[in-house]
Structure 1
């Protein structure tokens, strides 16, 4: 019994420290966002004595955060729809349809997960520039789809491999074509994985700064995360207002984590077990 209790403490203490290290930046940012500039200069770490919500309104109105929010919403929504469509189709093909080269294709998608974006950044920028897609919504959407599609294919393939092949054979006997099997069988059975992967893809696209900064150089096309960085550049001495902008950008992500944390966990572990 003492050994079991000690084992629990050994696991609990590092997890508690990790949770504290994760929560503290959010608490600190919220505290700074509620301060005046004078309070922050005098003591940046002390708890705020009053809630200055006008900082959030000022950050929202100062550099066109509403436009940046709309840009992010459009790009993320379309990107996630395309990622789920292509990822589910490719996952179905690689997991249930046997054809020459399927294993090599899956290994190629798996290998693409280990290629940092910085490696392909310059070639991608040249291709997008030559194609006239720089500073356009389609260009950023295509960049997101190209960057996160291997991850989506990997998880959907892993999930679809857990579906018994007898179900596919039964659907074939009932007269379903390949498309019919995909639409009537794979999509309904893959709905939990699609929800989980869609949430993860949305978080990846929403939190991205590097790709959006590369693909959208003009101020009117910036996404929300890039807009927050421009807020810091314009108001370098108003840290509470900058913290308010960071808080605005973080609220959608926090809400997703708060209400859909189980689906996110399921997406991370998709296909890790059979049955």
Structure 2
């Protein structure tokens, strides 16, 4: 019995330390964001005496976080919709439709997962500049789709391979076309994987800095994470306002994890174990 308890403690203590190390930076940032500049200069580690909400207002309005937030919302929403649409279609085709080169195409998508963005960033920037897509919403959306489409195709293909072929055959006998099978059968059955990959892609796009910095050089089109990095230079003497900007950027990601962590885990597990 003592060995069982000792084993539990050996697992619980490191996990608690890891959780504390993860939560503390967020709590510290929230505490700093609620301080005045004077409070922060006098003691940066003490708990704030008052809730100075003006820092968040300043970061949201005067520092341009509202505009950056809107830019991120537009780009992430469009990119995720395209990723789910193209990824689910490709996953259905690669898993259930027999055509020449389907296996090779899947291997190409799988190999693309191992190519870092730093390898293709210069050619991508030159191509986007040639077609006048630098500093535009469509350019950044297409860059996000290209970057995370292999992951989406891989997950959807793995998930759809578990769908019994008899269901598709029955749907074809009932008179459904290939598109009808996709719309009436595959999309409803793929909701767990679609939800999972949609959330993950949204988090990937939302947290991205490198691609957005490359594709959106002007201040008006910055995404939220790039805007946060620029605040460090603008408000180097006003750390509470900078912390408020970081808090604004972190809250959507934190809320997503808190409320959708079960769906993320279930969807990824289903896509990884089926097929």
Q: TM-score, normalised by structure 2?
A: 0.96
Is residue 2 of structure 1 aligned with residue 28 of structure 2? no
Distance across 1 between alignment mates of 2:148 and 2:35:
38
Q: Deviations over 1:12-32 (max 9, x none)?
A: 222222211111111111011
State the alpha-carbon separation in 2 of the partners of residues 10 and 158 from structure 1.
36
Structure 2, unmatched stretches of 5+, are none
8 Å CA contact 1:155, 1:270 repeated in 2: no
Note if contact 2:87-2:156 (Cα within 8 Å) is conserved in structure 1: yes
How many residues align structurally?
275
| 1:36-66 deviation line (CA, Å, top 9, x unaligned) | 1121122211111211111100111122221
Gaps of 5+ in 1: none
Query: For 1:40, what is the secondary structure of its paired residue?
Result: helix
**Paired residue for 1:69?**
69
**Residue 97 of structure 1: how far off its partner (Å):** 1.3
Cα distance, 1:274 vs. partner?
Answer: 3.3
Q: How does 1:153-232 map to 2 (within 5 A)?
A: 153-232=153-232
Residue 269 of structure 1: how far off its partner (Å): 2.1
Q: Which whole-Å deviations, capped at 9, do the CAs of 1:100-129 have from their partners, x for residues lacking one?
A: 222221121111111111111111111101
Residue equivalent to 2:14: 14
Aligned residue for 2:52, secondary structure, equals coil
Contact residue 72 and residue 223 of structure 1 kept, 8 A: yes
- What is the alpha-carbon root mean square deviation over aligned residues? 1.3
Within-5 A mapping of 1:45-56 = 45-56=45-56
4+ long deviations beyond 4 Å: none
* Contact kept? 1:109, 1:153, Cα under 8 Å: yes
CA contact (8 A) 2:155 2:272 kept: no
Q: How far is the alpha carbon of 1:272 from its aligned partner? A: 2.1
